Amino acid sequence: GEPYDCRIDNYGVGLVAYFLSSGTHPFDGLQNFQEFIKHVISNSIDFDSTIWSDREISKVIILISVKTLLSTQGCDHLDHSIMPDKTSADPRFY
């Protein structure tokens, strides 16, 4: 596989945001690990349930965040001027 980059952390943030917005886990009810992997790879999250009926803005925010954060463009914030210079920092963190 490919080495990990910031997208794995961004994905985790998305899971936490989903939980905080809905009070449920995004993959509740899956029967096995293979089914979980299928949902992760296909990026399919069910927003049709009654949980989301009164949370329209949350759906929009999460969908925009997922598309941005899971793209390589979602890693651009690591090159922002407020981030430490990778050459002067401890290389174990990069």
Domains of the chain: total: 1
Report residue 73's pLDDT band, with 50, 70 and 90 as the boundaries.
Answer: low
Is residue 61 in a domain?
yes
Is residue 85 in a domain?
no
Q: Cα separation of 94 and 75, whole Å?
A: 13
Q: Cα separation of 80 and 53, whole Å?
A: 37
Is residue 1 in a domain?
no
**What percentage of the chain carries pLDDT values higher than 70?**
47
Is residue 15 in a domain?
yes
Comparing CA positions, the residue from 3, 1, 16, 2 lying closest to residue 69 is: 16
Position 27 scores a pLDDT of 78
Is residue 60 in a domain?
yes
Is residue 51 in a domain?
yes
Position 71 scores a pLDDT of 61
Q: Using alpha carbons, list the distances in angstroms from residue 29 to 1, 16, 40, 55, 73.
A: 28, 17, 14, 21, 32
Is residue 63 in a domain?
yes
Report residue 54's pLDDT band, with 50, 70 and 90 as the boundaries.
Answer: low
Is residue 66 in a domain?
yes
Report residue 91's pLDDT band, with 50, 70 and 90 as the boundaries.
Answer: low
Burial class (CB in 10 A: 0-12, 13-18, 19+), 76: exposed
Decide which of 30 and 58 is more confident: 30
Over range 7-22, report the average pLDDT: 80
Instruction: Write out the residue range of the structural domain in which residue 40 sits.
Output: 6-78
